[in-house]
Amino acid sequence: MDKTLARLRCAELDGAAAAEHGWHGVGGPEPLRCAEAGCGGEAIEGNTCPRCGGLLEFTAPHGIGRDALVQILRDRSGASNALDRSGVWRFRELLPHLDEACIVSLDENEIPLQDAPRSAAWSGVDRMNVYHCGRNPSGSFKDAGMTVAVSFAAARGSSAALCASTGNTSAAMAAYAARAGMGAFVLAPAGGVSQAKIAQTLAYGAHVLTIEGDFDDALRLARAVGAASRDVALVNSVDPYRIEGQKCVAFAMLEQRHWRAPDWVVLPGGNLGNVSALGKGFREALALGLSDRLPRLCVVQAAGAAPFAQAWESGIDLEPVKAQTVASAIRIGNPVSWRKARRELRACDGLALAVSDEHILEARRAVGSDGLGCEPASAASVAGVRELRRRGVMRADEDVVCILTGHVLKDSSISEPIAPEPVANSVDAVLSAILKEKK
């Protein structure tokens, strides 16, 4: 398989410690530690703790002070260097080390906070800002994590990337793997992924393999394949590098706000890697002195796919469910990162809740009325704000940021009438239709 020039340059940067593990462009793999409380397991690579089977994460200190970091970020503002433009690699001092020649980037996570007045009014708050990850290169929040996951996969010599997906992960992986000159393979539940996302994934040259079962079945198989072959890099959110990239959403959001945290950050929840990453990012920003507090995080699940919300509200461990919702991106019944998500919510006095598909679709229309648009799963965050107001947990005057996770064109297979209205080919008929709509 052909390698890109970046990967070839990585091979020239081989160091003794890195070479022992087949790594290139790094000074040696940084240690991973088990995310499970009280375990203490460690590993050099992989995604599973060798001691307890839990997920691994990076916990190494960053070795840079607040003032030095702020100055670096100021110097990079408006820079022409592609890595300095990236809303992930601009914060590379806060990421595991990788030589710049090995980085695979598509200018991801350069996303402005936008005001959404009609969504705010529908939700019952005075003001709402949205962080619309649909503006990313592949159209979803997955890009922020995938740039790091694929970069490190290429650096350690993997020739192919693999994921299980409900659609957004597959498109992001396919785009970044193509950029890196790697093969890309997707395990998808048959009939469980929107045709738009499959078409996008195929357009990047990836191979989509469908299996009987749901996303959880696909992920179990993908993890087994990744464990069986070192040449195949599993880049689902079990990968600690994915989480490192996605935590940069917290940094980019805070930077735009002059490092002042909002009262709330509300986001959809499926496999729960995103809230795990955001929580980690906000905690690290606080520890570095970049921000002075943690925002409260709220994870919003669809009522038909809400095992985490149910576990959170009942105070018990998660019990898998057979997921069913129109929001296909969060149609996940056994989220792999639920323990990490629970830890992050506990750290920030956050919470998890569920909303109906009906309210998700209403919220989607509200987002559309702001001229923004989003896929159904994204709108769960806006529906969640309305539910927080209904419960009296959130005040109307609080500072709220909603994460919109995917582009409006990502999923058109929803149970809403979308057929155009036929009209006669005349001025009178068109004006009549316009006047009728105004009423």
Strands 264-268 and 400-404: parallel
Return the number of other C-beta atoms located less than 10 Å from residue 12's C-beta.
10
Q: Cα separation of 255 and 238, whole Å? A: 27
Contacting residues for 285 by C-beta, under 8 A, at least 6 apart: 250, 251, 254, 259, 261, 291
Is 390 within a domain? yes
From 173, 145, 144, select the one nearest 160 (Cα to Cα): 173
Is 345 within a domain? yes
Q: Cα separation of 229 and 242, whole Å? A: 19
Domains in the chain, number: 1
Is 284 within a domain? yes
pLDDT at 439: 64
Is 314 within a domain? yes
Tell me, what amino acid is at 377?
A
pLDDT at 83: 94
pLDDT at 418: 59
pLDDT at 416: 57
Quick: pLDDT tens for 76-102.
988 889 999 999 999 999 999 999 999
Quick: pLDDT tens for 214-257.
999 999 999 999 999 989 999 998 999 999 999 999 999 999 99
* Low-confidence stretches of the chain (pLDDT beneath 70): 1-29, 413-419, 438-439
Instruction: Output helix, strand, coil percentages for the chain, rounded to the nearest 5.
Output: 45, 15, 40
Tell me, what amino acid is at 274?
N
Report the predicted TM-score, pTM, of the whole model to 2 decimal places: 0.90
Contacting residues for 96 by C-beta, under 8 A, at least 6 apart: 26, 30, 58, 60, 148, 152, 241, 244
User: If phi over 0 gives left and psi between -120 and 50 gives alpha, with beta otherwise, what is residue 72?
Assistant: alpha
User: If phi over 0 gives left and psi between -120 and 50 gives alpha, with beta otherwise, what is residue 110?
Assistant: beta
Is 184 within a domain? no
Return the number of other C-beta atoms located less than 10 Å from residue 107's C-beta.
16
Q: What are the phi and psi torsion angles at 322 (to 5°)?
A: -90, 105
Return the number of other C-beta atoms located less than 10 Å from residue 210's C-beta.
15
Is 346 within a domain? yes
Q: Cα separation of 122 and 139, whole Å? A: 25
pLDDT at 27: 44
Domain housing 365 = 113-137+242-410
Q: Output the domain CATH number for residue 368.
A: 3.40.50.1100
Q: Cα separation of 80 and 86, whole Å? A: 11
Contacting residues for 20 by C-beta, under 8 A, at least 6 apart: none
The widest CA-to-CA distance across the chain, in whole angstroms, is 78
Q: Are 211 and 149 in contact (CB under 8 A)?
A: no
Strands 296-302 and 264-268: parallel
Strands 129-132 and 113-115: antiparallel
